[in-house]
Chain A
């Protein structure tokens, strides 16, 4: 383990993403890493999206000189979906429909926000069922048997916490609903600094930042030497 190797918090992130990608099917779409924006039409119906990224973490105190530290990791899950209103268009767009039939169709219309709210509950159910399934307890890491017959997991105390829905918003004629949740777990990181890139011994020439006669601002010429410039 060293600077050039992935630490466990990065490996856990990759394992969560792999687990979600393997199970998403047509139910949702996993977006790896933080993305600036997702268009409302991109997350309509079965295209709801889940962004996963490492959000924060903290190393526990440990005795000096010890090469391992516990790392409490927090991964943010950002849910996003959109819904249109639903109505029986076969009646509403039928020129020969009677006022009573039209009235009944309008009364039976489902609002986009109600549909989005229900879809978000279903979305959370799907993600919880994947991430908290006992079969996925190890998150794809190898489980090793301990000396007392117990199982040793790389990730300990995995939890889904603080699910929170945001206010539905109208975007582009659709109702967009977002929510967030935190997946927390603890891993034991190793620190040994191995694989550190050797420092470059060659001197760095910053130049003067002033272009010389040839237009090269990094040129280190006596013309730009402070003593030369200040000499009368």
Chain B
């Protein structure tokens, strides 16, 4: 196993699904539910509830309340692609892991594909009852 393969499997698994990992449930556009990883364990990802960004008008650094879900691609049976609508369920907050909240990854926003390291970052958005 070369270092890239090692990073894509064991390294990413430790970083994304280790102590920082939170349970994630996905529903693919075809209705398939993905709640376990490639080894049959609970699917986990690194969930950030806010992140830093630059204010386009002022250039100031600010904390933005936008969710980012990073998953190991080898853990997924189907990988989300741009233009697809997926359901993404994550815990309400990092401590209360029992209550999951539903978000949508929809064609408005493509996932960030970390091709060289084998991860994918979803940018799910709020959803209301239709």
Tell whether B113 is near chain A: CB-to-CB under 8 Å.
no
B33, B102, B109, B125: most-surrounded residue (chain A CB, <10 A): B125
Report which of A86, A90, A93, A170 forms a contact with B109, defined as CB distance below 8 A: A170
Q: Are B30 and A103 in contact (CB under 8 A)?
A: yes
Task: List the B side residues contacting A175 at CB < 8 Å.
Answer: 108, 125
Interfacial chain A residues near B67, Cβ < 8 Å: 173
The interface bits of chain B over 5-24 (1 if a CB of A lies within 8 angstroms of the residue's CB, else 0) are 00000000000000000000
Contacts of A86 in B (CB 8 A): 127-130
Chain A hits for B27, CB < 8 A: 92, 102, 106
Are B66 and A173 touching (Cβ within 8 A)?
yes
Complex CA–CA separation, A171 to B57 (angstroms): 14
Q: Are B86 and A85 in contact (CB under 8 A)?
A: no
A107 to B104, CA, bound (A): 12
Chain B, 71-104, contact with A by CB distance < 8 Å: what is the 0/1 string? 0000000000000011100000000000000111
With contact pairs A113-B108, A170-B108 given, residues A108 and B130 touching in the complex (Cβ less than 8 Å): yes
For window 32-91 of B, CB contacts with A under 8 Å fall at 32-33, 64-67, 85-87
Q: Which residue in B87, B108, B126, B128 is a CB contact (below 8 Å) of A111? A: B108
- Which residues of chain A come closer than 8 Å to B29, judged between CB atoms? 103, 106-107
Least CB separation from B127: chain A residue: A85
Which residue of chain A is the closest to B130 with respect to CB atoms? A86
Interface size class of B (residues with CB under 8 A): 20 to 34
A88 and B128 CA atoms in complex are apart in Å by 8
Provide the bound-state CA to CA distance between A112 and B102, in Å.
15
The interface residues of chain B lying within 8 Å CB-to-CB of A212 are: none
A102 to B64, CA, bound (A): 31
* Contact yes or no, B130 A110, CB < 8 A: yes
**Mask of A152-182 contacts with B, CB within 8 angstroms, 1/0:** 0000000000000000001111110000000
Bound-state CA distance A92–B127 (Å) is 11
The answer to whether B31 touches A174 (Cβ under 8 A) is: no
Q: How far is the CA of A185 from the CA of B86 in the complex (A)?
A: 49
- Is B121 an interface position by the 8 A CB rule? no
Interface of chain A residues 196 through 222 with chain B (CB within 8 A):
none
Give complex CA distance A99, B106 in Å: 18
Q: Which residues of A contact B106 (CB under 8 A)?
A: 85, 109, 111-112
Query: A171 → chain B, closest Cβ, in Å?
Result: 8
B: residues with CB less than 8 A from A are 27, 29-33, 64-67, 85-87, 102-104, 106-109, 123-130
Sample of 5 A–B contacts (CB below 8 Å) = A85-B127, A92-B27, A170-B123, A171-B64, A173-B126
What residues of chain A have their CB less than 8 Å away from a CB belonging to chain B? Answer: 84-90, 92-93, 98-104, 106-113, 170-175
What are the nearest 10 A-B pairs in CB distance?
A99-B31, A103-B31, A102-B31, A173-B126, A86-B130, A84-B126, A84-B128, A172-B65, A85-B104, A85-B127
